[in-house]
Amino acid sequence: MPVDIDAAVIANRRLSADYNVLALAAPEIAAAAKPGQFVMIKTSGGQDPLLRRPFSIFEILRDAAGAPAGVSIFNKRVGAGTTLLSRVESGTRLALLGPLGRPFEPVDPPAEAWMVAGGVGLAPFVTLGAALAARGTPTTLFYGARRAEELYCIELFEAMGVSIVLSTEDGSRGVRGRITVPLAGALESRPLGTPVKLYVCGPTPMMRACAQLAHRHGRACDVSLEQVMGCGLGGCYSCVVLARGANGGAPHHTRTCIEGPVFDAQRVVWEAVAGH
Amino acid sequence: MDLSVQIGSLTIANPLIAASGCFGYGVEYADVVDLASLGGVAVKGLFLSEREGHAPPRIVETPSGMLNAIGLQGIGVHRFIAERLPELRERRAVVVVNICGTTLDEYVEVARILSDAEGVHALELNISCPNIKEGGITFGCSLPGTHNVVSAVRKVTSLPVIPKLTPNVTDVASFARAAEEAGADAISLVNTFLAMAIDVHTRRPRLTNIVGGLSGPAIRPIAVRMVYECRRVVKIPIVGMGGIATADDVLEFMIAGANAVQVGTMNFVDPFIWTKLMDGIRDYMTRHGIVRLQDIVGTVDTSTREKAWISS
């Protein structure tokens, strides 16, 4: 059951001109959140911007005693709302509704988990990585960006014992090219007898490419979709994607807020997905 | 304190109704809102059959508002009765079903089916959706069309009939009068304003449907004026809406002439808005010594103002 919290900003950690991590005091949401769920944040106190913005829960923050105390979000400055969130100062209060959405289902060993992130699509993988680590599932993060400076927060995954494969489009760190390059190589070399599940979040073309690779290699693949969202609760029908039913059937416009954001990649009609 | 409202044969406990298209089928909100505490729940518009609606992007934000072109995606009247109505009944919601049609016969058929279903309390006729080509607004933009669809539905149901009017006409009050003459129990207004937003870099419309309906606080003063205009020409109850965000906004609509209100866009921003609105209304009644909320309806005092030019 989602709650709305008037959450104080604990810290705004700037990562670069465009990226920041915003820590918010929200114990009830932190305690209830599952990997891959999201919150809807009111970015201004007024009516412009009017609507809340959806954000994956990036980290679960804990107090000295280890109790859930808050959540953080991984923010990329794109429009008016994300610009406001890039500038907020500690002590500011923001309305935070959550946790929302269908979470990731972490696999158990001996299956392996491969998390594939593009750019700001890193956001849902800290919570998933932690859940996988808790199960002892061998986990790899494939993480791509345009250049080395845009690869953030890798230390969070190193601390969990996650194996890390990086790529940059300019070759400044890791494999040169998009993250699908090392992912394709890893899928090729992996014996079919070893179960692997892919979890993907990033730009639409990257998710589509990963879904095709997973399909070609017969691997399960979940994607976390980001769409323009009005309410986050299933009321407005804004955030739909064309997706087949969970048990097959003809594709229909499916709400990403309550039936997603996590979908089996094979359900999604990728040609129809908006976004970039 | 009496907050009740009479709409035809239906008495609702308070004037706050969740607006159609902004509250799913009601059940989506059952975890965050006590549905029985609302005056009513106007569910998403229903045709006879399922509809897929428009391709995304379906919404775009604008200053203090939003455009939408959802295209009336919906599960159709039969699935609604089978899959959603039982839970609404169980949660004791006052259910207002928003009904749509591409033809007059479809409105009549949907109305007939819902009249036989247990747990439907009123029918709101969607003759005002700006986002579909066929039916709907073609009735709502013509005086004979409005009269015909209201009187046809009136003949097949004993449920209160509430045509929802479009603001995309020159003189909304004449449509209010046509609805009243055709036997409507109440009218609701306004639906969204036909609008457009363009990405200047790509020179493409921001919505797949090119145009959409503007809602939210941006439209509120226009909606208040239209409720005021309608109140001057009809006796039947008016359900006012358009960007209501606070209890003062509710009261403004009521003083302009609305007997009840609907809240839509701001429910997206704050799904917990309902208790805040209710508390604010009660505070106002206490402060002003009002025992019966309906006593403020249409009480706007224009005696000290220049007589405004009114289109009717």
Q: What is the mean pLDDT of chain A?
A: 95
CA A3 to chain B, closest CA, distance in angstroms equals 8
A276 band by pLDDT with thresholds 50, 70 and 90: low
| Mean of pLDDT values over A208-216 | 96
pLDDT value for A86: 96
Preferred mutation among A3, A6, A47, A242 to probe B, highest tally of B CBs within 10 A: A47
pLDDT value for B310: 58
B217-258 pLDDT, tens digit each: 999 999 999 999 999 999 999 999 999 999 999 999 999 999
Say which of B22, B32, B269 has its CB closest to residue A2.
B32
Query: b vs e for B282-300, b when ≥16 Cβ sit within 10 Å of the residue's Cβ?
Result: bebbeeeebeebbebbbeb
pLDDT value for A145: 96
Domain boundary among A100, A133, A152: A100
In CATH terms, is domain B5-54+70-193+215-296 a member of 3.20.20.70? yes
State whether A146 and A205 are in the same domain.
yes
State whether A7 and A81 are in the same domain.
yes
CA–CA separation, A213 and A265 (whole Å): 11
State whether A73 and A126 are in the same domain.
no
The pair of structure tokens assigned to A265 is 């990649």
- From chain A, the residues in CB contact with B66 under 8 A are 50-51, 230
CB contact under 8 A, B68 and A236: yes
pLDDT value for A111: 96
| Mean of pLDDT values over B209-222 | 97
A275 has a pLDDT exceeding 90: no
The pair of structure tokens assigned to A272 is 């129809």
Q: Which domain holds residue A122?
A: 112-226
State whether A83 and A148 are in the same domain.
no
B190 has a pLDDT exceeding 60: yes
| Mean of pLDDT values over B262-268 | 98
Query: b vs e for B158-175, b when ≥16 Cβ sit within 10 Å of the residue's Cβ?
Result: ebbbbbbbbbbbeebbbb
Say which of A51, A241, A253 has its CB closest to residue B269.
A51
- From chain B, the residues in CB contact with A52 under 8 A are 268-269
B199 interfacial to chain A (CB closer than 8 Å): no
B50 has a pLDDT exceeding 80: yes
CA–CA separation, B208 and B199 (whole Å): 12
pLDDT value for B309: 60
A234 has a pLDDT exceeding 80: yes
A194 band by pLDDT with thresholds 50, 70 and 90: confident
CA–CA separation, A55 and A65 (whole Å): 27
> Is A275 within a domain?
no
Tell how far CA B222 is from the center of its chain. Answer: 15
Q: Which of B223, B139, B129, B227 minimizes the C-alpha distance to B186?
A: B227
Cα atoms in the 13 Å half-sphere on the side-chain side of B75: 15
B275-312 pLDDT, tens digit each: 999 999 999 999 999 999 999 999 999 988 776 665 55
The pair of structure tokens assigned to B82 is 């089978």
Does residue B239 or residue A249 have the better pLDDT? B239
- B133 within 8 A of B123, measured Cβ to Cβ: no
Helix B247-256 and helix B220-231: axis angle, to 10°? Answer: 30
pTM, two decimal places: 0.95
For B21, nearest residue in chain A (alpha carbons): A236
- B263 within 8 A of A36, measured Cβ to Cβ: no
pLDDT value for A253: 96
* Residue A245: count of CB within 10 angstroms of its CB: 12
CB contact under 8 A, A47 and B217: yes
pLDDT value for B262: 98
- B187 within 8 A of B230, measured Cβ to Cβ: yes
CATH number of the domain to which A148 belongs: 3.40.50.80
Segment among A111-125, A164-178, A235-249 with least mean pLDDT: A235-249
A9-18 pLDDT, tens digit each: 999 999 999 9
- From chain B, the residues in CB contact with A237 under 8 A are 21, 24, 44, 53, 58, 70, 73
State whether A176 and A215 are in the same domain.
yes
State whether A176 and A219 are in the same domain.
yes
Active site residues of B: 129
CB contact under 8 A, B217 and A274: no
Q: Tell me, what's the ipTM? A: 0.93
In terms of Cβ atoms closer than 10 Å to its own Cβ (0-12, 13-18, 19+), residue B277 is buried
Percent of chain A whose predicted confidence (pLDDT) is above 90: 93
B113 band by pLDDT with thresholds 50, 70 and 90: very high
In terms of Cβ atoms closer than 10 Å to its own Cβ (0-12, 13-18, 19+), residue B107 is buried
Q: Which of B96, B93, B88, B90 minimizes the C-alpha distance to B36?
A: B93
State whether A212 and A146 are in the same domain.
yes
Q: What is the DSSP string of A69-132?
A: EEEEEEEE--SHHHHHHHH--TT-EEEEEEEESBPP-PPPTTSEEEEEEEGGGGTTHHHHHHHH
User: Domain map of chain B by residue range?
Assistant: 5-54+70-193+215-296
Q: What is the mean pLDDT of chain B?
A: 95
- From chain A, the residues in CB contact with B64 under 8 A are 47-48, 50
CB contact under 8 A, A230 and B59: yes
| Mean of pLDDT values over B117-139 | 84
| Mean of pLDDT values over A23-52 | 97
Task: Check residue B108 and report its DSSP letter.
Answer: H
pLDDT value for B133: 63
- B99 within 8 A of B123, measured Cβ to Cβ: yes
Residue window 237-276, chain B: list those with CB within 8 Å of chain A: 245, 265, 267-272
When divided into structural domains, chain A yields a total of 2
CA–CA separation, A79 and A165 (whole Å): 30
CATH number of the domain to which A23 belongs: 2.40.30.10
Domain boundary among A100, A122, A157: A100
Domain boundary among A43, A68, A100: A100
A220 has a pLDDT exceeding 90: yes
B140-178 pLDDT, tens digit each: 899 999 999 999 999 999 999 999 999 999 999 999 999
B101 band by pLDDT with thresholds 50, 70 and 90: very high
CA–CA separation, A183 and A148 (whole Å): 18
State whether A118 and A217 are in the same domain.
yes
